[in-house]
Amino acid sequence: MHETTYEITTQPRPADYPAYLPAPEGPVMLPSEIPPGVQMVTLPGGIRTLAYTQPTAPPAPLVPVAQPIPAWAKTTALLTPTIGGGIAAAAIGLSYAAPGLIAMSQALWSAVALIAAAAIGVPVLLRLGRSAVGPRRGTTHITQNITASGMFGKANGTINHH
């Protein structure tokens, strides 16, 4: 193993150097004279010295992270062609069925007219037929009287024909 000894040198104390720090030795460099990659650092003992520093890397640019597609969007995307195909199939079916539907609607209107005529005509014919068959009889009146005693008492009744 190869051992290398390092020697740390300090700078002399300038006029504005703090009094609580020990006096630096050696020549003082102006900040403009310090080469790139070298900075003035303060050691743990309070001594300030020049040292090579690692350049700080600029922060990496934020790379947009691909977000997962929500389940509702996948479902909607899968259902859209199915619904569109169903609507297209229904439209084609209606176009083929249109002549039959028109004929069926005309037949239904004929059936409705027949039912309406029967609902009005049959009672009129029956009334005319009864009056032509025999003499008219009077109407019968039935009267019923019911009596009961108490809430749960037995009820008795009489029926009278007039």
Closest CA to 23 of 12, 38, 31: 12
User: Mean pLDDT across the stretch 36-53?
Assistant: 80
Cα separation, 31 vs 47, in Å, equals: 17
**For 67-94, what is each residue's pLDDT tens digit?**
898 999 999 999 999 999 999 999 999 8
Q: What backbone phi and psi angles, to 5 degrees, belong to 100?
A: -65, -40
Give the model's pLDDT for residue 84: 92
With H, G, I as helix, E, B as strand and everything else as coil, classify residue 134.
coil
pTM of the model: 0.28
Residue 143: what pLDDT?
86
Residues 16-30 have a mean pLDDT of: 62
Model confidence at 21, in pLDDT bands (50, 70, 90)? low
Query: So what's the pLDDT on residue 50?
Result: 80
**How many residues does the structure list for the chain?**
162
Asked whether the predicted pLDDT for residue 44 surpasses 70, the reply is yes
What is the CA angle 108-109-114, rounded to 5? 95
Q: Are 12 and 30 in contact (CB under 8 A)?
A: no
Tens of pLDDT along 115-153?
999 999 988 888 887 766 666 666 778 888 888 888 888
| Integer Cα distance of 142 and 48 in angstroms | 130
Q: Whole-angstrom Cα distance, residue 95 to residue 99?
A: 8
**Is residue 21 helix, strand or coil?**
coil
Q: What is the mean pLDDT of the chain?
A: 80
